[in-house]
């Protein structure tokens, strides 16, 4: 976790993100900045669907796409919409600690049995479903995945500023992830 930048004051925010919607996100969430009013989104936030994460941001400040592991590969049309129609020029890509998409294969039996018991699926269909989709969503390491996904999105949207972040479930704070460019 020494690749994380702890945001305890405004000066901890990297210069390229200060005075941008990314910097404001960090100020609102970590520094309890007084919330302003927004009539349209300034930012797109891509984050995991995990229910333990909640951002302290004003209404209308951000579009938010929640997807397992903050994997936006299969939400790219929505990202494009937020940029092309919504006018956002900044993306915060937020992974988190204790992510259920890490070592997904270890939850195989729980996943399959849950679909059989809770959803009424037959065992074979549940097994096929897991086998087909788990490789698309498996994450080996939260930080490495967010850095890789950030680079993929930067290549796809070269004029958009994209910041890799980690939400620590343990303290409910956002951290910037250090990059080597």
Q: What is the pLDDT of residues 110-120, one digit of tens each?
A: 999 999 999 99
Long-range contacts, 143-149 (Cβ 8 Å, 24+) = 143/3, 143/4, 143/95, 143/177, 145/69, 145/70, 145/71, 145/95, 146/70, 146/93, 146/94, 146/95, 146/177, 147/177, 147/179, 149/70, 149/71, 149/72, 149/73, 149/93
Task: Tell me: pLDDT of 145 over 70.
Answer: yes
Task: Tell me: pLDDT of 167 over 70.
Answer: yes
pLDDT, averaged across the chain: 95
* 3-state SS class at 39: coil
DSSP state of 20: S
| Rounded percentage of the chain residues whose pLDDT exceeds 90 | 84
Q: How confident is the model at residue 99 (pLDDT cuts 50, 70, 90)?
A: confident
What is the per-residue pLDDT for 150? 97
Angle ∠(58,63,67) on CA atoms, nearest 5 = 120
User: Which pLDDT tens digit goes with each residue over 22-81?
Assistant: 999 999 999 999 999 999 999 999 999 988 888 999 999 999 999 989 999 999 999 999
User: Length of the chain, please?
Assistant: 181
What is the per-residue pLDDT for 65? 97
Alpha-carbon radius of gyration of the chain: 17
What is the per-residue pLDDT for 136? 87
Q: Report yes or no on whether pTM surpasses 0.75.
A: yes
Task: Tell me: pLDDT of 1 over 70.
Answer: no
What is the per-residue pLDDT for 62? 98
Angle between helices 123-137 and 108-119 (to 10 degrees): 130
In angstroms, the CA 28 to CA 56 distance is: 6
Long-range contacts, 129-133 (Cβ 8 Å, 24+) = none
CATH architecture of 4-100+140-177: 3-Layer(aba) Sandwich (3.40)
What is the per-residue pLDDT for 140? 87
CB-CB contact of 42 with 21 (8 Å): yes
What is the per-residue pLDDT for 168? 96
Residue ranges per domain, the chain?
Answer: 4-100+140-177, 103-138
In angstroms, the CA 173 to CA 167 distance is: 6
């Amino acid at each position: 976790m020494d690749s994380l930048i702890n945001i305890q004051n405004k000066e901890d925010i990297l210069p390229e993100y200060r005075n941008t919607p990314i910097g404001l996100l960090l100020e609102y969430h970590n520094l309890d900045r007084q919330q302003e009013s927004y009539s349209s989104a300034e930012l797109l936030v891509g984050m995991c669907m995990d229910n333990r994460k909640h951002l302290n941001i004003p209404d209308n400040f951000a579009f938010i796409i929640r997807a397992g592991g903050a994997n936006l590969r299969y939400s790219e049309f929505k990202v494009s919409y937020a940029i092309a129609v919504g006018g956002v020029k900044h993306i915060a890509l937020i992974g988190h600690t204790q992510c259920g998409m890490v070592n997904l294969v270890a939850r195989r039996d729980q996943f399959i049995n849950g679909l059989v018991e809770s959803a009424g699926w037959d065992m074979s269909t549940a097994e096929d479903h897991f086998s087909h989709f788990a490789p698309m969503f498996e994450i080996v390491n939260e930080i490495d995945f967010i850095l890789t996904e950030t680079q993929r999105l930067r290549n796809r949207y070269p004029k958009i500023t994209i910041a890799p972040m980690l939400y620590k479930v343990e303290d409910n704070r956002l951290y910037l992830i250090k990059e080597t460019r």
